[in-house]
Structure formats: structure tokens, C-alpha cells
Structure 1
Amino acid sequence: MPDLAPRPPLLIGEAHGRETVPLRDLPTGITAVTLPRITKDSDDIVQVRVPRDRRRRINPRQVDLVADHPVSPYEPPPTLTTRQLIKVLRTKSTKRWPTIQADLGDNAWHIVVDLIRCGAVILRCDVVNATGYSPCSWTLTQSWAELAEDKLAELQGRQHPEELHRELLDIMSDVPQLAHEHALLANTPPGRVLKIPEGTATRAEDWRVYEVAIRAASTWWPAQSTPRKITAKALAGRSLRDTKSTWTPARQQAFSNLIGIPFDQAVDQADTELRIRGPLQWRVGTVIADAAACNPWLALPARGVRALGMISCEAQGIFLIENEDTFEQVCKIPEIADTWLCIWGKGYATDGLAEFLRGLDGLPVAAWGDLDAHGIRIIGNLADRIGRPITPVAMTVNLYRGGTKYRQEPQKLEENHKLAARLAQEGLEALRDLAEEITRTGGHGCEQETLYDEVLPILPDLLKTVQLPDSC
């Protein structure tokens, strides 16, 4: 049986793709890692690689000090004063060590150690005499950088909370879809600070995130009468008066929770890398997201995966779908969408998705891809990266033989023929017979969208056969 117990916070973390560097006298809970080197492989997948010299040795001149354990997306050290926290959050790109000392005073080193442990900052250091280190500068971690603007607004407060309260009520007053939110806010009068109404559909914890969601929804709903879908930048410009305002994962999710539509479906030009549907709840920044309640799915940008904290997962397993249209069709099957964690991640998986799947190591993984060389390679590539088996479903030789083969240019066909031949020898064992058949036909492929009539009616039964490796 899969593990259905609530899980601790799951943050991808800043140590991903790096290697530990043994330094002496590091504080407890902190590790030194190599600096990241961002590259792309032959499949255009972004990867973080460990820098090495010509002899393949790790001998860095600089390292980053990061937390050596899972951390929450945002949980400041309790010893940090509000003034100090504001100074931390005001870090734009980097902050030099002398400036950090001036900001934090005599206890600067102890405060910085606490900030590293809680996942707030990354401290860059020079390596001294191979095993020593000297602080140079810090940067905010990705999760803290995503939340910095909203947290600063929360800490600094507003000069005239009553005026802002009235302004939001006025904005919502002519939007019938926001009548319930209007009533909630009207019954939550401000005091010295603004308060988020209890029961708000945004499920936000920070006022600024709540405010952005309300302003955006008040602009978005009236715009639905126009034929052109509003873009993410236009929505920011019209509702926040700033087209450069960042749609952080927390803001996206609060807005989506409020209007009941995934961000990438509500606006044009959204940076979506991951869609999820199934029995899973988590925090996107400081906003609760429910992958079961989001209709038809939960949409996240790639950076949003790194800023999540796991709350609970009750899925029977994880089901990966290669194509966007197929994912939409699967989400319409309650037997699957209500019990499996269904994920679409734009073909070849990002590092964020791979790390996310590694964090859910108590669940079996199934995948349905195109019946072609790249569909086979995508599953094998991801299985290698997550370190556990992936069970292919609806990817059989019989389905391939009866399926419609898509057109390919001669050069592309030859490339796929060569790839299939290689995969027939060294690819995922469960799909080698399919790779061999693709090789026999000269490299032709069959997309999963052409197999709906044959596969969708039996897909729930196919998934019932997927089990954890140790229970097979």
C-alpha cells in the first residue's frame, strides 16, 4: 500500500545539482556545496552540473553554504527582529559581507547561520587553504526571493489601511462574481493593520497576495466579455498599474483559487511548466493549493515547483502524461483524477519535476507517452533521473501496429530510426519490444492522441495493475 501519511515540507532546495565540499568547522545544519553550472543537454533539457577541472576533480575557489536538510518555503528565525528581517528581504541580487555585518551588528555571523539553516539565504565564501572559508556575500534563496516583495509589504504595513480597505470594496462592488468576497471583506474591518477575511477563496496568508488576487480578479472578470484573452502582462498593467509586476507562484495560485480557473487557462502567455491534478494539497509560497479542488488542474511555472511545501498526498500513484491534450482528457476521468496524481510537464521533464517525483518516493509511477522513439526515451530518461522504475501503460506493440503514423521529414525519420534502434538495445527494458518494432518500420511514430478510442475506456483498469516495485 502507498504511504498516505502527511509528509514534511518538501522544498527542492539550493543544493540540487551540486556536490558537497568538505570544509572544516562548518556550523551544524549547514553544508558547503559547489557553485552551480547551468547547461543544456542534447534534448534541450536545462541541467545543473558540478564544475570539475580537466582531471575531473572538484577543487573550487568558492563555495556556497546552504541548509543540509528540508526547509519550509518561509519560516524566519524566531530570534530575528522585524528591522533585521526587513533588511534581509530588501536584498535585490547580492549583498556584500561588510554590508551584512553593518546591518546585523556584532551577532552577524550567528544570525546568518540561522538564516542559512531556515533556507533564507545562500552564503558565498572564498575557500581558504583548501578546507577553510571566508564569507563574501549572500543572496536570497529562490523561495524567499519569490516572497520578498509581499512579505516586505506585510512587515512595513500601509499608512492608511481604512482607505485601502474601502478601495478594494469599491473595486469589487461592480463585479457580481466577487459578491461573496465583497461581503467577507466588508465584515472584516481594518484596525491598525489590514486583515485577510476568514474564509476567503484566495486561501492567501499575506495581505499583499490577497490584494493582488482581488485586484486582478476585479479586472479579469469584466474582461471575459471581450473576444481576446487577456495576457499576464496586460492583467498586471490594468489591475496593478505595472506590467513588470511579478506573477509569483503565490500570487498566481491565490488568483486562480479566487476565480476557480488555472492561471494558464485564465490568461495568455503564462509561463506554465507543470500541470497537476489529483489528491494532493500543498503550499505554493504561502498560499494553499489543492490539486484535487482546482478545476480542471493546478498550473505552476517551473520556478514554482522549487517554492512549494508539501502538506499531504493521498494518491494511489503518480501518472505522467506526455501530451497536453491527453492530459486534459485524463483529467476528465474521475476514476483516475480522483485517485492518481496526474502530471503533465511539457515532454522531457525539468529538473524541478524530477526532484518533485523523488520527494514522493513512496508512490508507484506510471507513464503514458507517444509510441515513438522520443516517447520511449522520455520515460527512460526520467526513470534514470528519479532513481526508480516507471511503468509504461498503453505503449504496446499491438497498439502501435494499429495506430496512425504521423508524417515526418526524411531527415527526421532517419534520426528517429537510429534512436529507436539504439533504444531497442539499451533503452527502458519494458519498451524495448516497442523500440524494436519502430526500428523495423523505419522510425515511424504514433502519437497518443490518435489512440483515445482504444485506450481511454480501459485506462483505469490498466493503472490498477501498476504497483510499487517491492510489492511486485
Structure 2
Amino acid sequence: MEDEFTPEIVRERIPIVGLPDGLDAFAVYPVGRRPEDRSGRLRPRNAELSAAGGVEGFAPPEGLSKDELVWFLSRPSRLWAGIRSRWQERAVELTFAMARCGGIVVKVTLDASYRIDTIVRVRLTPYWAEVAREKLSELKGKSDPALLRSGLLSVLEGIPELAGERGLLAEQAPSAPSLPPSGSRTRAARWSPYEFALRVAAWWYRRPEGARTPTADEAAAWAFPDRDASKETWTGPRRLAVENLLGTRLTEVLSFPDYEIRVRGPLTWRIGSVAVDARTARPWAGLPSHGARLMGEIDVSGARGVFVVENQTTFQEVCALPGIADEWIIIWGKGYATHGLVELLRVLAPARAAIWNDLDADGVRIATVLQEQTGLSMTPIGMNADDWEQGPHRAVTLKELNRAKEIAEELAVSAPEPWRELARQIAQHPELAGESREQQTLHDDVLPRVSALLAALR
């Protein structure tokens, strides 16, 4: 089997016959795999069509009805068969209109004359995918932008540290959509993380000076007393927006539950005269997820990189491989993209980072969340669409299957490129969509190659 690293993707503009007005066409292919004929001319079988010049914003085409817009926004990608079945004779017109305004990218096949043969599927552009949920809420009458702004203005009243933010918000027109004002310190592109950050900050600045360090759940409960104050509210964009607004890491002002992170490899953690050496510890060393960052000194100068493994049994198998722990810090963080693991990875700041998770929607999501929150480029190990398709697949309920499809559909659009093909397969496979393959079933194939796969990381 070939190396499992997903190569960089190239988008090369191409001329095609009969290209609809307002659109550009691109050949999309991995680096080093340019589709050429025997004369060296670019001859792709497929192309992607998108708005000419690129459009960044939310401006639906004129004449598009509310129901039509809601339908397109309700899923990150759609197959052409579904579009044609739903909109009949208007299907082509609506598809190209949505593409011209920057809403979708259209994948097509080309015939021998370099004309559009068939439309294969469409997907929301990254910007539209990002704002889709909030726009759907507005279109369905579940949120009034004017009321949202009015409520937030009241929350910010009388807080000097947020006076500038309140002024920016107050300048927005009553009829303006619910988007963050330009210049906000949150740097948020959407309303949800923007509002969350301002409400948390408003509560934070009203706290007495010198008060105890509150928990993240506590902050969410006070910021949104009418909502469920679970940790699930601390999404990646919300977390980053709060940090930008407060000008500090969240772990400096809020506390998160501590737990054990298991590590093996060239890492030492020293508190005074006591040290933990993860290279010599058997079978591994345990670090407190937050304590290791807040206390003592961590030395990783001898490490080539970090290798995060989702499942405990796979972690132990990797630790037992000869030579891996001499160069790589192998980490098991209980299989989740927790705040403690994120903070530890930020502190370690490795030059290289790899990850091996279950081949399912949750495994892809964990990897993408870690990449987003740490700023590291996480290279997948033992995770590709072919291996997922071959199975075996874990038994799941219909509810779990549908949930996995929804997660994968979103990730097929929003995840970093190395993860999108696996996400697309999980979302769209005609027979296996939503299925899950555990990484333990890949031990015989992947474990003998882990050393070579990690050595190939640049």
C-alpha cells in the first residue's frame, strides 16, 4: 500500500467550451499528478466551477426564493441527482446562479470536446459553510438580528473595557444581518462566537478583582443563564474569540478539569529536584493535563515531533515499537480533543505533528479540532478512505449512523485538505455512509510501517 499522506492539492484554471457566464473552471489534482495527454497538455476528466474572481461574502442571487435558499444551505454538499429531483427544470439555473454569487462550488465531468458533460455534485464554499447555520436560523424566523444586537448591547452597558466593542455594535444599522462588526477584537467571522465572547467577557470584567478562578462551565452558565452550560458550548471558534477579546489564553483565567495525559518519548517534566522522564518510564509516564503546563519545566529538546494516538491499546502498541519513543513523543489524551491536551500541545509546539485516530467521523473531527486549536499541521497516520471502505465496520444504531453522516458532511467541506477525502467517503458512500472502523483493526497493517511513515514527515 502506498504512503498514506495526502499530497498538496493544486487548482489550475482551465478554459472549457461553453462555460457559463460569471464562472471560472479549475482542474483540481494532487501535486505531481497533473492529468496530461501524451503531448503534455492538461486534460482533466473533471473540473470545479466557482464564481469568477472569487466572492467572499453572503449575497444570495436575486430571484432566489427563501425556500430555495434554505434548501441549499441546509446541507454542506449535495449530489446532482438530488438537486435535479428537487428542482426539476430549474435545477441547472439555480445551481449556476448559486455558484456565480460565491455560494457553492460545482464539480462537473468533461467530455472529449472539453464541454461540460454532467454535473456531479455541489458543495458550499468555505464562507457559506461557515455562516450556514446562523443564516438558516434567521431565514426560519428563529432569530431576529435587531433583537440579538439589542440584547447584546444591554449586556455590554457600563463596562469600560468593552466600550469600544459596544460602540462598533451600536453603529450597525437596525436592518443589518447578524454579523460581527468590522474591527471587533474578537476577530470572529460569525455571530455565534462573537456574541459568546462578548457575553463571557462582560461577565468576566464584572467579577471582583482577586476573585477565585472560575471554571469554564461556570463562565458559560453566567454568560447564558437561559441555556445549557455544558462544556460543549466551548467550540473552537468561541474559545479563540474569547482569547482574542481578553488578550490571554483561557487557561490563564478559567479552570478546566484536570486528567492524566499518558506520554512516552523524549520529554522530561521537572518540578524542583523531582523529574518525570517519559523516555525511560515503563510503560509510560502520566502528566496532569493542566498541571504539567502550569508547574515546573518541560524539556522536549530531543524530540523530532509529537504523535497523538486516539485509543489506549494502540497507544501502548506504538510505545512498544522499537525506536519510535527515542525520537517521537507519543501521546494518549483519552481519545478526545480536550482543553488540557490542546494546551499541552501548544506548550510543546513540535516541529512535526502526526495523529492516528479511528476511521470515523469522530476521529476526523478530533484531528481537525486539534489542528484548529493548536495551530499545528496534523498529518494523518493509518487513516485513509480506502482502508475505511475495506472495513470491518463497527455495529452502530441508525441514530448513530445518521449523526456520523451529518458530522462527515460538514467535515467534507470544512476540514483541512488531508482529511476531506475520508470525510467525503464517510458522508457519501452509497452503501457504507456513516460507518466506523476502529484503528485496532489496522494494527497488523499500520504498526509495521509507523516508523517509516513518521520518518517521512517534513
TM-score tier after normalising by the smaller chain length: 0.3 to 0.5
Larger relative contact order (CA 8 Å, sep ≥ 6): 1
